[in-house]
Amino acid sequence: MSTQVNTVLFDLDGTLIDTNELIISSFLHTLGSYYPDKYKREDVLPFMGPTLTETFTSINPEKVDDMIAMYREFNLSNHDLLVKEFPTVFETVRTLKESGYKIAIVSTKIHKNIEKGLKLTKLDQFFDVVIALDHVQNAKPDPEPIIKALDLLGSKPEEAIMVGDNSHDILGGKNAGTKTAGVAWSAKGKEHLMGFEPDYILDTMADLLDILKVNKG
């Protein structure tokens, strides 16, 4: 890294917390109500990453608001049952914070749902800056949410790395001018993410500490 990285931006779902089962179940529940027996598990994997509006508009433009409402109702009511953090996440985030790194969440979820996930996994204590879908006009891969997070942290793109499980995270980071790291535990698979040429691939979140040369104490 030519410029010293002092800022780490994290996607939330599928990156810090394992919401894969929750998201897949929420899509299958919603789509199954409108199109019984049409969608299987593998059919909804491409919907992980884009916003709900983008996904449901592509399926049924007439029913977007109703489908989003149904998805969110199921998602919230099953949240605490199905969500957990990925291994080494808590320790890594805590170490970064204690080491003086500026950290933020940049997600395509709405803010109240992000807060729910952060509180459940006790990660909320580490993040002062959270950029949600309802804070921006344009979601990732547009650079807007990443630039907004950097502005709030007082950081420059060349001092930052965007960490995520999806093409939207990698492309968003590239568009904003940050370094990028993909996570190997992405629901879409490590090979899929490598196709978007992130600067790094993390096999566990703790790999980030090695990349940034953080003293693990």
Residues that are catalytic: 11
The single residue listed with the structure tokens 């965007």 is: 162
Task: Please name the amino acid found at residue 33.
Answer: S
The single residue listed with the structure tokens 């940050």 is: 178
Reference 17, options 97, 127, 134; nearest CA is 127
Helix, strand or coil for residue 136?
A: coil
How far apart (Å, rounded) are the C-alpha atoms in residues 152 and 129?
7
Q: How many Cα atoms sit within 13 Å of 76 on the Cβ side?
A: 13
Contact 38, 13 (CB under 8 A): no
